[in-house]
Amino acid sequence: MSYPDAASVAKKLDQIFKSAFSGKKLGRFYLTVEQMRSLAGRKQLEKTVVNEIIEAARKKHGLAVALVGQGKSRGFGVAPVKGIERWRQLDNKTLSRVNRDAK
């Protein structure tokens, strides 16, 4: 059986990102593990396949894909990498404090 490659699945994620749904013209979204399996044409999502999809989405479409949640609520968040790059940057003072307090 032939499965869609990671680049094809990443392209589908990009098409979804650019699609209007849930009251928005485009943007970040969440999909369940079952929905990702459907996009990938698979009954099981092996870790290597997920990693290949994540890498292709980032390199080819500038999308960050993260596995989130636990159990039945597991799924994938998809957001533009550029949006994430604009998040607040962790400063070294806070990093040092947290590392010190964790001991």
Beta strands in the chain (DSSP E): 29-32, 63-68, 75-80
Q: How confident is the model at residue 91 (pLDDT cuts 50, 70, 90)?
A: very high
pTM (2 d.p.): 0.86
Domains and CATH numbers, the chain: 6-101 (1.10.10)
Q: How confident is the model at residue 73 (pLDDT cuts 50, 70, 90)?
A: confident
The predicted-structure confidence for 10-40, as pLDDT tens digits, reads as follows 999 999 999 999 999 999 999 999 999 999 9
Question: Is residue 100 classed exposed, middle or buried when 0-12, 13-18 and 19+ CB atoms within 10 A define those classes?
Answer: exposed
What's the pLDDT at 85?
87
